[in-house]
Structure 1
Amino acid sequence: MKKRQYYTLEVLRTERVSPNLQRLVLTGDDLMAFPAAPPGSYIKLLFNQYGEPQTSLPQEDQKILMRTYTVRHLDPQARTLTVDFMLHGDGVEAGPASHWAQTAKVGDVIVVAGPGSSKGLAEQRDWVILLGDMTALPAISAQLEAMPKDTRGYVIINIVDAADQQSLTAPEGVEISWLTQPTSSGLAKSLHDVQWLEGTPAVWAACEFSSMRAIRSTLDVEFNVPRSQVYVTSYWREGRSEDQHKIDKRKDVESYNAAVAG
């Protein structure tokens, strides 16, 4: 197993991008050794057992909480790493990462691990569909910025508040739609609201667990999109911690694969 790499960073800037999205720009000399991060790569933020940011390299017997976030932007020359946080409420009940994102000050220190790479859009494709809630905004934004200029397709993003809408850089042939709803339950239905283009689509989706399952079912049953052309995942689950969500996610994948194989 590859040894996990740790980086000790500090907060350089904080910005409330929108009512429900907080941005932190992290910096530190450790970023000089940070590997190139392809679009959609992620890091893990480390917190101690009390939910406080881990400020030194963890000991082998130390209980550590890890929270996963997409790298929004990496600038090796400037030694900056940008992370966007969807805010899940206020106070410690929001979870250690969301709470820290809202309260972090310039100069605050945290240890991060990574980067890890996430699966992107299928390369063999004629057009694309990307769907997600606000937790997927950084990954969707990064993928859009890296797309060939002649890419065609659709992006559908669920936001909590109309003011959460952002200006995204995308190819001219990619149409971006915003759903303003308190939950992402409408994402699956939105697949019926776009005009499916000729040729083979590549579909990428990331959102809350229940919405993910609805999207996956819709693609399977109603649109019959080949599995090789689809990547659908959940970034979180309502009412569950990240550790609990990981267990749920693993069981769901096993159950889904067994059903497909059977």
Structure 2
Amino acid sequence: TVEHQDPRELRLPEDEFDVVHSSWLLHRLADPEVALRAMARAVLPGGQVVLQWSFGRPAADGLAMRDALDGVYAHARWKERLAGAPSAIHRHSVERVRDVLVDEGLEIVVEQRDVAVSAGPDPEALRRFARATAFSEPADVLGDDADAFVDEVLSALFESGHADLHNARLIARRRGDEDDVSDADDGDQAPLLVRPFPQAVGLLEVVEADSLSPLMRRLTLHGEGLADMIVEQPGEIVTLIWPARGTEEIFLPEPGRWRFAGGREQPARNYTVRAFDAEARSLTVDFFLHGDHGDRGFRGEDGDEGEATEATEAAAAGDHGAAGRWAGAARPGDRVGFAGSRVHWVTDPAAEWTLLVGDETALPAIAATVAELPTDHPTFVVLEVRDEAEHAALDVDHAHARVHWVHRGDAEPGRGRGLEDAVRALTLPDGPGQVWAAGESLVIRSLRAHLLKERELPKATVSALGYWSHPRTSRASRTT
């Protein structure tokens, strides 16, 4: 759901979100307090507010770059055209922003001042950054002349010696119930949901390719860049990157920011970290081979090279399921880029039971989570797959889990009510639990409504993610 609001009068539902993220907004507001308090109140217990803004110095320090900026705005070429979009840059110190968040009951977990802009000395990248952040409003007014204006601004700032934007970053967390159990033991604190992304980037080479089932393909990848990646939770997310269509070179984003040099657009998809070994520089990813590709899409050692090229080009074009076709055709020596990793769910140590629900796209994350849960922890798993042959994809010891398989047969994934009906039929234990579910967006939306409204589970205990969706033009009723 997308909703457009004026940040000066921001209104968000309270206790609703795991993460609220704002980038390069606060310095455009004369008074950011309304927006800050709305964002702080919107996060659930254990949730986080992530803020990035420029000019994070006290207003009393003055704005040394003001004279340089005023000179550019007064230039005959810009003065009249920018009369309706005057320079509106406001300084809000880290201390001021921090005090508002703390007053709303949040604790600061990351505080960074004078954050370096990843654009670095590259003039083109620096221009894009400035145009998208501090000078976006005049850039919108000037249209095709925006780059010339931003260049003039940057030149004036560098010549005056006041080009430092004093970028700041804060991550604040609302304390959860589990924090009151033992504040003295840092080991009891919930892990940080948000980390700078990507932590690590690099090129990976396929070293092993196996089929777990007709529709699930496992690739083991190796790359030196994995030494810098941190994986703390089961089922974390890694982003794989392919070369753009018509090229063979894989360009990587800058560490700490999802930005590509030269404004390049790179096709990328998110996947679950099924297994990871930083010391061995090894990453394991399981791919669901969408549609009718399955084992017919596999390529052996003597397979057709053209098939891999075609699959890579399809992935570069954003073709639905193309990444699965690439995985189905991949063999040792094939390369792919990576950026990682991100936490998408943190298990609750206070939960007395766990319910995991999903289709094949969620199966790797479910398998990784089941493998980490204690064997005496009541665990319920509901999985929709094509048929019994797909059971092998859950290749972990799950004797302690009650697994309910839903077979859809030849029906299209993400249609029908089989997954939800299986959950409805479950008798869950009393006491606090936790739920993680992922799959087709409409299926998951309906399932989430059942869990929250009919079973009346607390919002903070239910994480329901739409991993994928059918094209809107072809969405049909899920009633069978």
Identify the TM-score tier after normalising by the shorter chain.
0.7 to 0.9
The aligned counterpart of 2:419 is 187
Flag the structure with larger Rg: 2
Unaligned runs of 5+ in 2: 1-51, 53-195, 253-259, 294-310, 473-480
Provide the C-alpha distance between the structure 2 equivalents of 1:126 and 1:143, rounded to a whole number of angstroms. 15
Does the 8 A contact of 1:209 with 1:236 survive in 2? yes
| Range with bigger deviation, 185-194 or 208-217 | 185-194
1:67-125 CA distance string (max 9 Å, x none): 00001001223321010111113464543311211122211111110111111343332
Give the corresponding residue for 2:405: 178
**8 Å contact kept, 1:6–1:113:** yes
What is the CA–CA distance in structure 2 between the aligned matches of 1:216 and 1:60, rounded to whole Å?
Answer: 41
* Aligned residue number for residue 67 of structure 1: 269
In the superposition, relative to structure 1, how do residues 37 and 25 fare at CA in structure 2: closer, same or farther (>3 Å)?
A: farther
**Given the two structures, how large is their TM-score scaled by the length of structure 2?**
0.47
Deviation, 1:239, is: 2.6
Shift of 1:148: 1.7
Distance 1:53 1:154, change over 3 A: farther
1:84 aligns with 2:311: no
Q: What does residue 6 of structure 1 align with? A: 201
Q: Deviations over 1:32-77 (max 9, x none)?
A: 2222342110111112332877534353321112100001001223
Residue in structure 2 matching 1:20, options 190, 215, 222: 215
**After the TM superposition, which of the residue ranges 91-100 and 208-217 deviates more from structure 2?**
91-100
Q: 1:152 to 1:162 in 2, by over 3 A?
A: same
Q: For 2:286, give the aligned amino acid.
A: D
**Cα deviation code 1:150-174 (max 9, x no counterpart):** 2013111111222011254356542
Aligned pairs (5 A) from 1:83-162: 83-89=285-291, 90=293, 92=314, 93-162=319-388
Q: Which amino acid aligns with 2:468?
A: W
* Cα 1:108/1:172, change in 2 over 3 Å: closer
Give the C-alpha shift of residue 178 in structure 1. Answer: 1.1
In the alignment, the residues of structure 2 paired with residue 193 and residue 32 of structure 1 have an alpha-carbon distance, to the nearest angstrom, of 45
Write the letter of the residue equivalent to 1:27: H
Corresponding position: 1:29 with 2:231: no
Instruction: Tell me the SS of whatever aligns to 1:234.
Output: strand
Contact 2:239/2:338 (8 A) holds in 1: yes
**Structure having greater relative contact order (Cα 8 Å, sep ≥ 6):** 1
Partner secondary structure for residue 323 of structure 2: helix
Give the letter aligned to residue 133 of structure 1: D
- Map 1:39-54 → 2, pairs under 5 A: 39-50=234-245
Structure 1 residues 19 and 172, CA gap change in structure 2 (3 angstroms): closer
Task: Check 1:54–1:147 CA distance in 2 against 1; reply closer, same or farther (3 A cut).
Answer: farther
Aligned-partner Cα distance in 2 for 1:81–1:56: 20
Q: Is the 8 A contact 1:129 1:204 kept in 2?
A: yes
Structure with the bigger percentage of helix: 2
| 2:233/2:346 contact within 8 Å kept | no
**Partner-residue secondary structure (3-state), 1:187:** helix
Contact 1:47–1:96 (CA<8 Å) still a contact in 2? no
State, as a whole percentage, how many aligned pairs show the same letter.
31
What is the correspondence of 1:162-173 to structure 2 with a 5 Å cutoff? Answer: 162-166=388-392, 167-170=394-397, 172-173=399-400
For residue 146 of structure 1, report the CA deviation from its aligned partner: 0.9
Aligned to 1:228: 460
Which secondary structure does the structure 1 equivalent of 2:450 belong to? helix
**RMSD over equivalenced CA pairs, Å:** 2.2
* Structure 1, unaligned runs of 5 or more: 241-262
Q: Which has the higher strand share?
A: 1
Q: Distance in 2 between matches of 1:235 and 1:118?
A: 12
